[in-house]
Amino acid sequence: MNFFFSFLVLAEIFAVLALSTNLLLGVVGIFSVAQAAIMGIGAYTFAGLAIAGIPMPIALIAAIVLCGIINVIASLPSLRLAGDYFIITSFGIQLVATAVFINWSDVTGGATGLSGIPIVEIFGQKFVRAGPFLILSSIALGVVSLSFWLLMRAPYGRLLHAIRQDEIAVVAAGHRVLLAKVGVSAVSGMYAGVAGALYAAYIAFIDPASFDIHVSILAVTMVVVGGARTLAGSILGPLLLLAIPQLLALIDIPSTVVGPVRQLTYGALLIAFMLWRPQGIAGKSL
Amino acid sequence: MLYIQLLVDGLVTGCAVGLVALSFSYFYATTGIFHVAHAGIYTLSGYIALHFVKLGLPFVAALAIAIAVAAGVGAFIQVTLYARLEKRGASPLVKMIASIGVLTVLQNIVALTFTPNILQFDLPWRISLVHVFGIGLSIPQLILLIVSPLILFAMLAFSRWTPLGKRIRAVASNPELAETTQLHPERIFIYVIAIASGLVAVPAVLVGVDQAMQPYTSLLVLLTAIIAMIAGGIGSMGGAFVMSILLAVIQSVSVMLVSGRWSIALVFAVFIVFILWRPEGLFRRNFNRQI
Amino acid sequence: MLKPRIGGLIAAALISAYASTALAQETLKVGALLPLTGPAAPIGLEQQQGVQFAVDLANAQGGVNGKPIELVLDDSQGKPDQAVLAFNRMADLDQVPALITAFSSISLAIAPLATRREILVMNPAAQTDKLADASEFLINTIPLVNAESQVMTKYAFEHIGKTASLLYENAAAGIAGRDDFRNHFEALGGKVIAEEPVEFGQTNYRAALLKINASKPDFVYIAITQSHETMADQVGQIEGFPVAVGNTFSRPFFGYPSTEGWYQSAIQSNNPETRTLEAFKAKYGTKGMGFFAREYFNATNIVIEAAKALSAEGKELSGVNLRDTVLKIKTFKSPIAEITFHTSTALRPVEIQQYVKGTRKVIEVATPVAQ
């Protein structure tokens, strides 16, 4: 059961990250491949503070606030750059962040990573194994999902959709596009901060590879597979994409080729899925 | 002297990246598809050449086969995947994710067929040195340095003066109009991806001969090329090529100024400042699409 | 005619009695969590061959408890979160009492889990110093960077030169190599005059090599774990590149005109007996048995030996028992290496080799001082 729970915990953490990506990518159309970097900042902040003995709730809040601020700064170029240009800018932000994670070793532990992150303890209850931790990650995902849902229902959410569809018309109608975009970046960053803190608390070890470009691309893939713009999609996408390797692990593949065969199957499934359901699992239309 | 050596090293790297950038740019500007699988074709073609050299074919023949296979695989991806996704009304984002799937498949086919080991060509001449104005260059480096600009000029000429090149430009500038004027964009796309894929085989094989090959690292080469393409101005092959060289030279020479561990960050800082100052790139082109 | 019959009956009874106790005993399951895809896959593949070969060999000789050993193989992709999932999969679905790991980050990520789940983790290749006390269930069959670097640095300072430039891989092993070298070298009074990183998976080292060359050190210390062949090619392109010193991963540098006269430290690790070596080469179609294959083969054999000792005593093959038995047996001798566990990290002799006229000349052998 522990294995199943640990899978669910990771799926929930990635669902939070997917929601962060979804807010930018699906909702306002800011194509960012740097969300893993923001998550990493959250993870390192939380881990560093927790190791220094700061109470965990404070460490969590610090991670959330910092990620909100940094994500706003990171998204600023998108105010001036259209879609494709921003992809590469965000890719640059991702690479710079990874370089910082690796090279600022006094704080991040460098390429060897940061170990010895203390076990989460609330009211004397220790969250050591995956089972109890699942409660924590579920609460976090619940709160994030609820806020996402409320945000989409609010007039603000409708404004965001309108910006994606026709930014010029929204500006012409007298709305403050800049403010709306900054606001959504802040929320997206805060989600990434939550994901990072949870990740650091659960795995209890973080290193730069945990938050590199491949993780950012994985987050985008999760959003698209689940269905961009939808809440359910950002939860189902991570669940499905993380489940595929687990299910493939149960199939007996000759040991000499096991790694590449699993990856190949994963790639093939991704292609097949996009052909079969381009709008994603939960997406209604394109 | 040291700076000249670093400059030349950057120049050679830039030429290789430049070919990747211009070939990616050619397909991307025409179709708007973020064709990440281009990196997979890059990997595949290098290994194909390696295979035929191992079988005893002359290097030039192996290179020709690699180019042909790459073009064929590219066309196959367009017909079986991108065209179908287009018909189903998939967004560019969805095509990109499918393309990531293709990249994963290609990389792992290579890893299964040729092992994931770092492999080198068994060609004795590949490490022989040629001295040009006192700078020692390996033969593959020298070939890259000569061939790359030639390919660029050939592509520019092809695009400007041949009927097919003109048709491709017409489709790129306005697909909807091209549809109604019976230019058959979907057929044009096949030509474009075949040309782009064949082109990318050249730097893949030459860099493989010069250095070594491995299955899982080509994505970073492609992303570097895409940065250059965007900085150079999407749709401008010359811009993509020149920017590739510029960025590679900056990265190479910057080693003397900052530690190599910050050189990637430095290149990006330059890029971000540049792109904010000139969002349309070095060479202005009209290009717009939704994600 | 009766006697042989009775003898046969007794033998049969004995065999069946033995078989029934053996049946009551459990099968030994060994996990292997290796980077089978991604940039580290070349190393992962060689490690996998070593483990697989050891298990197959042991099974051909009857396995443990009269049952074949079961190998549970999984891909960590070189990523900590995937490793944690795979670890839990092995712990829950396969209930392995012992597993073999690779890579510093992976080993550090699963170390706390190993303690919690009481699963023995054998590390035959990762050398980051943090592994020394990452978990009481982690056994390192290779000395960590600190110990190896201590021997090499001392030799280099006394015999090669007082100024050095460093070229290192910007990843766990390379950075640990850089730091330990610098610490030891500066403590002796040496001076590091330049340092330059290269990326994991990079194959164009020219800019870095040019910079290092320009700093004109007495020697260069190189800590990379792959793609040595390409670096050797490119060193050949630079006239007058200083002599270089490497570590145990530097073996592939040997045999190039450009690396003639270079030094490396090497954890003593020899080929297995000829018959085993030939069988390995035939099975995997390789030219020899690489360092990782040997070390993983040997580490797997240590687990198997401990399991055999436990089964002889009729004890359960649990993670705790396996760990205690390995530490109790303490010294494991094989043609590959003699490994002694004073602590959970092996102490092994380190050689200083020099590449002289197509041979690896052993110049000095020393055992590092326990830290």
Q: Which amino acid is at C310?
A: L
Residue length of chain B: 291
> Would the CB atoms of C203 and B212 count as touching at under 8 Å?
yes
Q: B138 CB near a chain C CB, below 8 Å?
A: yes
| Residue C23: pLDDT over 60 | no
Q: For chain B, give the mean pLDDT.
A: 89
The ipTM estimated for the assembled molecules is: 0.88
Using an 8 Å CB-CB cutoff, list residues of chain B that contact chain A: 34, 81, 84-85, 88-91, 93-95, 97-98, 100-105, 107-109, 111-112, 116, 223, 226-227, 230, 234, 261-262, 264-265, 268-269, 271-272, 275-276, 279, 288-291
Q: Which of these ranges, A161-165, B195-199, C133-137, has the smallest mean pLDDT?
A: A161-165
Specify the pLDDT at position B223. Answer: 87
B266 assigned to some structural domain: yes
A108 interaction partners in chain C (CB closer than 8 Å): none
pLDDT in tens, C316-346: 999 999 999 999 999 999 999 889 998 899 9
- Per-range mean pLDDT, top range of B12-26, C129-143, C226-240: B12-26
Number of folded domains that form chain B = 1
Tell me what pLDDT residue C99 has.
95
By residue range, what is the domain housing residue A35?
2-210
- Cα–Cα distance, C323 to C307 (Å, whole number): 10
pLDDT reading at A249 higher than 60? yes
**Hey, how many other C-beta atoms are within 10 angstroms of the C-beta on B146?**
10
Q: What is the pLDDT of residue C69?
A: 94
Residue of chain C nearest A99, judged by CA positions: C170
Q: Is B265–A31 a contact, with Cβ atoms under 8 angstroms apart?
A: no
Say if C37 is an interface residue toward chain B (CB within 8 Å).
Answer: yes
Look at A87 and B88; give whichever has higher pLDDT: B88
Q: What is the pLDDT of residues B210-265, one digit of tens each?
A: 999 999 889 889 988 998 888 888 888 999 999 999 999 988 888 888 877 787 77
Is residue A27 scored above 90 in pLDDT?
no
Nearest CA in chain A to B230: A85
Q: Higher-confidence residue: A278 or B70?
A: B70
The residue of chain C nearest to residue B213, with distances taken between CA atoms, is: C203
Q: Has residue B284 been placed in a domain?
A: no
Question: What pLDDT score does C180 carry?
Answer: 92
In this structure, what CATH number is given to the domain that contains residue B113?
1.10.3470
- For residue A82, pLDDT beyond 80: no
Inter-chain residue contact A31 with B93, CB threshold 8 Å: yes
Position A115 scores a pLDDT of 84
pLDDT (0 to 100) of residue B154 = 96
- Report the share of chain B in percent with pLDDT over 70: 94
Query: A247 in a domain, yes or no?
Result: no
pLDDT tier at C189, thresholds 50, 70, 90:
very high
- Tell me, yes or no, whether A166 lies in a domain: yes
What's chain A's average pLDDT?
87
**Dist. CA C167–CA C232, nearest whole Å:** 13
**pLDDT: is B279 or A190 the higher one?**
A190
Q: Is residue A255 part of a domain?
A: no
Average pLDDT of the segment spanning B18-29 = 95
Does position C4 have pLDDT exceeding 80, yes or no? no
Verify whether the Cβ–Cβ distance C88 to A130 is below 8 Å: yes
User: pLDDT tens for residues C262-320?
Assistant: 999 998 888 999 999 999 999 998 888 988 999 999 999 999 999 999 999 989 999 99
Phi, psi of C128, deg, nearest 5:
-55, 135
Contact list in B for residue C234 (CB cut-off 8 A) is 211
In a domain, B282, yes or no: no
Provide the residue type at C242 as one letter: P
Instruction: Tell me if B290 is assigned to some domain.
Output: no
Is B25 part of any domain?
yes
Is the predicted pLDDT of residue A190 greater than 90, yes or no?
Answer: yes
Higher pLDDT, C230 or B185: C230
pLDDT of A83 reads 62
In contact, C71 and C297? CB cutoff 8 Å: no
pLDDT at site A284: 66
Residue-level pLDDT at B106: 97
Asked if the model's pLDDT at residue C1 lies above 50, the reply is no
pLDDT at C31: 95
Q: Model pTM? A: 0.86
| pLDDT-based confidence at residue A84 (cuts at 50, 70, 90) | low
The arithmetic mean of pLDDT across residues B43-50, rounded, is 97
Distance of residue A265 Cα from the nearest chain C Cα, in angstroms: 13
Are the CB atoms for B95 and B85 separated by under 8 Å? yes
- C209-230 average pLDDT score: 93
Rounded CA separation B47/B45 (Å): 5
Q: Is the pLDDT of residue A56 over 80?
A: yes
Residue C91 has pLDDT above 60, yes or no: yes
pLDDT at C6 over 60: no
pLDDT of the residue at C370? 62
Given this model, what pLDDT does residue B2 score?
A: 87
Q: How many domains does chain A have?
A: 1
User: pLDDT (tens digit, 9 = 90+) per residue, B154-175?
Assistant: 999 999 999 999 988 888 877 6
Q: Smallest Cα–Cα separation from B150: which of B75, B221, B226, B206? A: B206
Q: At what angle do helices C41-60 and C291-312 cross, to 10 degrees?
A: 40
Average pLDDT over residues A51-55: 92
Q: What is the mean pLDDT of residues C6-29?
A: 54
Could you report the per-residue pLDDT of B96-147, keeping only the tens digit for each? 999 999 999 999 999 999 988 889 999 989 988 888 888 889 999 999 999 9
At residue B14 the predicted structure's pLDDT band, cuts being 50, 70 and 90, is: very high
pLDDT value, residue A214: 86
Q: Give the nearest chain C residue to B257 (CA atoms).
A: C211
Task: Tell whether A194 is covered by a domain.
Answer: yes
> Is there a domain that residue B103 lies in?
yes
Residue B105 within a domain: yes
Residue C371 is predicted with a pLDDT of 52
Within 8 A by CB and 6+ apart from C272, the residues are C280, C289, C294, C297, C334, C335, C336
Considering CB atoms only, which of B207, B214, B256 is closest to C201?
A: B214
Q: Report the DSSP pairing between strands C120-123 and C98-101.
A: parallel
- DSSP one-letter string for chain B: -HHHHHHHHHHHHHHHHHHHHHHHHHHHHHH----TTHHHHHHHHHHHHHHHHHTT--HHHHHHHHHHHHHHHHHHHIIIIIHHHHHTT--HHHHHHHHHHHHHHHHHHHHHHH-SS-B----GGGG-EEEETTEEEEHHHHHHHHHHHHHHHHHHHHHHHSHHHHHHHHHHH-HHHHHHTT--HHHHHHHHHHHHHHHHHHHHHHHHHHS-B-TT-HHHHHHHHHHHHHHH-TT-HHHHHHHHHHHHHHHHHHTTTS-GGGHHHHHHHHHHHHHHH-TT-SS--------
- Whether A90 shows a pLDDT value over 90: the answer reads no
Sequence-separated contacts (24+) of C256-260 with Cβ below 8 Å: C256/C229, C256/C232, C258/C232, C258/C233, C259/C232, C259/C235, C259/C355, C260/C355, C260/C356, C260/C357
User: Is residue B287 in some structural domain?
Assistant: no
pLDDT score recorded for residue C25: 64
Q: Is C36 within 8 Å of A115 when comparing Cβ atoms? A: no
pLDDT averaged over chain C? 88
By Cβ distance, the residue of B2, B116, B259 closest to C42 is B116
Task: Say what the pLDDT of residue B93 is.
Answer: 85
Q: How far is A180 from chain C (nearest CA, A)?
A: 35
**Domain architecture of chain C: domains with CATH:** 26-143+271-340 (3.40.50.2300), 146-267+350-366 (3.40.50.2300)
